Structure 1
Amino acid sequence: MAVMLECIPDAQRHTAQNLADLIKKICTEWNVIEKVVSVTADIANNIQAAISLLKWKQVPCFAHTLNLIVQAGLTELKAIQIKVKSIVELFQRSILASERLTAMQKQLGEKQLKVKQDVITRWNSTFDMFERILEIKRSVISTIATDYPNTPNLTPDDIEILSKCCDLLRHFKSVTEIMSAEKHVTVSQIIVLANLLKKKCEAFTTQDIPQTVIETAKRFVTDI
């Protein structure tokens, strides 16, 4: 059961000491200061420092930690991410380009789907962007080759990197969905899910796949 104790405006600077004082004040007013077993929050430095000042045990937020792990690992794929993003922006900022993409999809018998843009703070949006590009790769490649030859196009190597990258990231998406579906994710579940993710990533490090994907998998293994 989740219960909210307070929801109050706080205009002061969010320093570790100010946060610790505020949390202590709220817990004291509700007479639970001696009943705190552990604290789960995001892993921002000021929050961690505040909890340390209160001398409480910290249990990091698994979802937040997982997001940071994937974001860090994706730096290994920066080149392909930038390339795909530029292609996505071409079709998003130009109505004509978008119409030509749709026409090409009809011509090639592909589903008439729009490109998806990623958001820098959400790794799963990068996964969605990659996955959508793979879904409509024939029409994207053909439209660029026909109408926008000055735009860097996707190569067979790019497609392989995107495909294997999506295979890798799909495991993280599955774990995220499992966590989201649960009302109460226990620590024991987190241990199992983390170990499962690590094993899945380790398997990618020995496969005959693009080196950038291998390096991404290695980064995940280290950080998990």
Structure 2
Amino acid sequence: MEPIFWTNVGISVQTVASASFALESISKAAEAVAKFVGSAPAELKNGAIVRLSDVSGMVEVNDRAFRVKSVDAAQKTFVLEGEDTTGAGTFTGGSAVVVTLGADFRSVQEVNASGGDFEKADITTVHGMLRRRRSTVQNPVTFGFTNLFDMGDLGFKECVKAHRSKTTRVIQLSFGSGPKILFVGAPAATGVPTGQAQGVVQTPVDIECQGVPTTLES
């Protein structure tokens, strides 16, 4: 394994979403197959990015973004690339949109991640001598960007727009060596400048994930 570096990193933000289309099923498989109802949008092609919403039953894939492969228009199916659902719940309903990642950040200097830890339930009984706990609900992951104060940065502008409208966006981090991370996030970006004397002017962006991030090998 070769190390991955924070150089040559692309950070892309959703700008457009297709019309929503209903999903009939998502299989439990090493690589999940989704079946849709009616006509899918023209944007649903191999390599497209879809966001799943309002998913019931298989809550593990709700409010998440995936890359699509093996689209079969005749069978009305597509594969959620790399997503193993063998241990997930049984799908009972949900919908999807195809998103366009049309805005790229150009001014990010630092990236931090926080959260992602689990709350734990105590299952200790009176019969043992060791406290026992089990992980339960997971706290959301938050990505924090420190940006140059660049009002022309398209990715930043899209996050400001989402912040003001209280809406979410699909975000993609692309590392130069190939791996990618996709997530649905709620941006917080006011455009307020920060910094110190004689230092570069910066502005923060925080993006809280609405579901578990999706990782892709390339």
After TM superposition, the score normalised by the length of structure 2 is 0.26
Larger RCO: 1 or 2 (CA < 8 Å, sep 6+): 2
Query: Which structure shows the higher strand fraction?
Result: 2
